[in-house]
């Protein structure tokens, strides 16, 4: 794990008094489990191969966590992040993922602008 990712995880852990790495690993396991169900049903992953977090994803998570203007937990950030650009046509089952506040968060927070801003910055760099 790269040093900047460790720094991000440590800051979130200390500030929110959580185990960020455990939350991220559990979230990825749930995503993988749901993708595997699709593979069994449809015979392929339907483009859902990009479920694991990369270095840049950690930067985006940190940016959203640090600068959002409403109370939001890490799993909610992950659901929004994955929905916004990480996975296409993926259904977050409310039985497995805590999705009950997602629309409220999208409506009352600045999270859409944060994601668009950072993706714009990233695209300008590459």
Per-residue pLDDT tens for 68-126?
A: 988 899 999 999 988 877 776 677 888 889 889 999 998 999 998 998 888 888 878 76
Query: Residue 55: its pLDDT value, please?
Result: 87
Residues 6+ apart with CB under 8 A from 54: none
Nearest-angstrom CA–CA distance, 82 and 55: 15
Count of helices and strands (H, E) across the chain: 6, 0
Contact indicator for 19, 13 with CB cutoff of 8 Å: yes
pTM of the model: 0.82
Query: Residue 126: its pLDDT value, please?
Result: 65
Contact indicator for 38, 48 with CB cutoff of 8 Å: yes
Query: Residue 52: its pLDDT value, please?
Result: 80
The CA distances from residue 6 to 62, 73, 79, in Å, are 11, 19, 21
Contact indicator for 97, 34 with CB cutoff of 8 Å: no
pLDDT tens readout for residues 20-77? 999 999 999 998 888 777 665 555 555 555 678 888 889 999 999 999 988 899 999 9
């Amino acid at each position: 794990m790269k040093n900047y990712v460790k720094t991000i995880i440590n800051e979130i852990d200390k500030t929110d008094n959580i185990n960020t790495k455990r939350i991220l690993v559990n979230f990825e396991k749930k995503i993988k489990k749901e993708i595997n169900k699709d593979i069994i049903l449809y015979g392929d992953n339907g483009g859902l191969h990009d479920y694991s977090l990369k270095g840049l994803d950690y930067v985006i998570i940190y940016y959203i966590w640090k600068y959002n203007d409403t109370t939001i937990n890490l799993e909610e950030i992950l659901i929004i992040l994955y929905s916004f650009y990480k996975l296409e046509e993926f259904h977050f089952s409310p039985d497995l993922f805590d999705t009950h506040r997602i629309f409220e968060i999208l409506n009352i927070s600045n999270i859409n602008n944060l994601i668009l801003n950072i993706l714009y910055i990233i695209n300008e760099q590459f």
